[in-house]
Amino acid sequence: MSEVQSEIQGPLATETSKYTRNNPYASTVVLNYLLSGEGSEKETRHIAFSLEEGMTYTPGDSIGVNPEHRAEAVAEVLTALGFTGNERVLDHYKVEISFEEALRNRLAIGKLTRGSIGQYARLPGAPGVGGRGYAELKALIGPENKARAEEYCSGREFIDLITDFPGALARPQELFNVLPRLTPRLYSIASSQALHPNTAETSVRVVRYDSHGRARQGVCSGQLGERATVGAVLPVFLHSNQYFRLPEDPSAPVIMVGPGTGVAPFRAFLEERQAKGESGDNWLFFGDQHRATDFLYEEQFTAMMKDGTLTRLDTAFSRDQAQKIYVQDRMAEHAEELYAWLECGAYFYVCGDATHMARSVELALLDAIAKGSNSTPDRAVEYLAAMKNQKRYQRDIY
Ligand SMILES: Cc1cc2nc3c(=O)[nH]c(=O)nc-3n(C[C@H](O)[C@H](O)[C@H](O)COP(=O)(O)OP(=O)(O)OC[C@H]3O[C@@H](n4cnc5c(N)ncnc54)[C@H](O)[C@@H]3O)c2cc1C
Ligand SMILES: NC(=O)c1ccc[n+]([C@@H]2O[C@H](COP(=O)([O-])OP(=O)(O)OC[C@H]3O[C@@H](n4cnc5c(N)ncnc54)[C@H](OP(=O)(O)O)[C@@H]3O)[C@@H](O)[C@H]2O)c1
């Protein structure tokens, strides 16, 4: 789980304005266009949401979207379960709704969890399951079968479970004990309100993949990519993140490392500093697969280099040559200069992939500190710890 996602309930990460995940704002999509070019392996989109007067955000914040499953996915589950969707159920707040609505926007029918398998196998009707049968279903539950269940869950969704093991669910209401709640998805805000007073803009990578013989898509990014055309209305809320903020001192330099959609908050940072005429130097490291198709916001960043908003822009296009080049390689190439910026009080920000990139970037930062200061790795760790204390090392990773 991301640092931010885990802090979502914390005191410093709050839902701003009167709108919250449980009382979202009905926002209109005002922009939705492809950022990635034709031929890219990824589909990354620039999507802007309208805001009501009084809804304010600060660069570093994100916007939450309460998603809906696509109609075909809901219909498939209904067919597999043998219901029409018109059955009545009580939602998590004991409000009566149709089963179709429950499947559309209350219950997470996407990615399968071990917990759901366990609950499904414990339903009163489970001993009568068809398909692969009750014995095989039971072999997926309990602590002793954790690894096997995790392997089964990988790349599978609820539809796979009820296709492989049909017939356990006797009443639609029972599904509230089986499936987790469908939760909002957060997207880093990629705009400054100084330039876009009425919108929150985002950079969304549409998740699509094939697994176990099915074409799948991410619940929310799929909705944003396919069914949130300009004019569509979606429930959203603003989500504040006090842990990811530009320096209070407008003259302080900043170094930003944001590969892929990790660049989103840095577009917001740069727009903010540009609009406010802040004098601090700005250095951006951006990386993605190919320069020709994946250089997100290339035109805007190039213009920012020309007008001096950006002091430095270093790019790492991983697949434009035989050997991969990543943002941390660019950091290593410029280790001495990077350290000189830190010595001038630069703030260092990282956004994007938490699984691999963030750690590699931290190691490259420690190397740059050790090299630049001609000191030991231990001293570099102390230097970074001091930066953290001064809030000069901030990450928003997911
Ligand atoms: C603070 C924060 C900021 C974020 N900012 C951004 C942002 O700016 N832009 C952005 O695009 N996203 C951002 N995200 C991620 C975003 O919130 C969603 O997690 C993302 O869009 C996926 O949600 P989804 O509903 O589309 O996919 P889901 O339905 O949640 O499915 C995603 C899941 O599908 C599975 N999966 C994905 N690919 C594969 C595969 N190839 N094989 C097998 N399984 C796979 C994985 O289990 C993955 O967790 C951010 C997240 C956080 C916490
Ligand atoms: N939960 C989800 O399903 C979901 C949905 C959307 C985005 N995300 C996450 O959002 C983040 C951004 O996604 P994205 O597709 O825009 O970009 P990304 O996957 O982070 O890729 C951007 C660039 O980073 C490179 N990269 C890969 N491994 C790296 C490493 N260890 N260190 C540094 N760079 C590395 C990639 O190179 P190569 O690809 O050539 O190796 C690519 O050039 C990732 O965490 C992604 O998983 C998650």
What pLDDT digit, counting tens, does each position of 343-385 carry? 999 999 999 999 999 999 999 999 999 999 999 999 999 999 9
User: Which residue type occupies 230?
Assistant: V
Q: CA 170, 173, 174: angle at the middle one, nearest 5?
A: 60
* Rounded distance from Cα 195 to ligand 2 centre (Å): 28
The CB of 264 under 6 Å from ligand 1? The reply is yes
Distance 218 CA to ligand 1 centre (A): 7
pLDDT of residue 284: 99
Between β-strands 185-188 and 62-65, what pairing exists: parallel, antiparallel or unpaired? antiparallel
CA 379 – ligand 1 centroid, Å: 36
Picking from 16, 6, 1, 11, the residue whose alpha carbon sits closest to that of residue 63 is: 16
For ligand 2, atom 35, name the residue with the nearest CA. 357
Q: Tell me, what's the pLDDT at 17?
A: 72
- One-letter amino acid at 398 equals Y
Cα 97 to ligand 1 centroid, rounded to whole Å: 28
Choice from 15, 350, 398 to test ligand 1 binding pocket (greatest atom count within 8 A of CB): 398
Q: Which of 293, 336, 297 is nearest to 313 (CA)?
A: 297
- Kindly state if the Cβ of 185 falls inside 6 Å of ligand 1: yes
**Within 10 Å of residue 143's Cβ, how many Cβ atoms?**
6
CA dist 136 → 82, 142, 147, 161, 165 (Å): 22, 13, 14, 12, 9
Q: Compute the distance from residue 353 Cα to the ligand 2 centre, in Å.
A: 5
- Nearest CA among 8, 138, 117, 112 for reference residue 64: 8
Distance 283 CA to ligand 1 centre (A): 27
Chain-centroid distance, C-alpha 7: 14
Mutate to test the pocket of ligand 1, among 36, 153, 221 (most ligand atoms within 8 A of CB): 221
* Ligand whose nearest atom lies closest to the CA of 110: 1
Low-confidence ranges of the chain (pLDDT < 70): 1-16
For ligand 1, say whether the CB of 155 is within 6 Å of any of its atoms. Answer: yes
Give the Cα separation of 330 and 343 in Å (integer).
19
Question: Which ligand ends up closest to the CA of 319?
Answer: 2
Q: What is the pLDDT of residue 9?
A: 38
Is any ligand 2 atom within 6 A of the Cβ of residue 218?
Answer: yes
| Amino acid 4: pLDDT | 39
Contact 266, 305 (CB under 8 A): no
Instruction: Please tell me the distance from the alpha carbon of residue 395 to that of residue 243, in angstroms, as a whole number.
Output: 8
Cα-to-centroid distance, 254 and ligand 2 (Å): 22
Helices (H), the chain: 3-6, 71-81, 99-105, 114-121, 134-138, 146-153, 158-164, 219-226, 264-276, 291-294, 298-307, 327-333, 335-343, 357-373, 377-389
Number of helices (H) and strands (E) in the chain: give both, helices first: 15, 16
C-alpha–C-alpha distance, residues 385 and 227, integer Å: 45
Cβ-in-10-Å burial (0-12, 13-18, 19+) of 120 comes to: buried
Which residue is closest in CA terms to ligand 1's atom 18?
A: 185
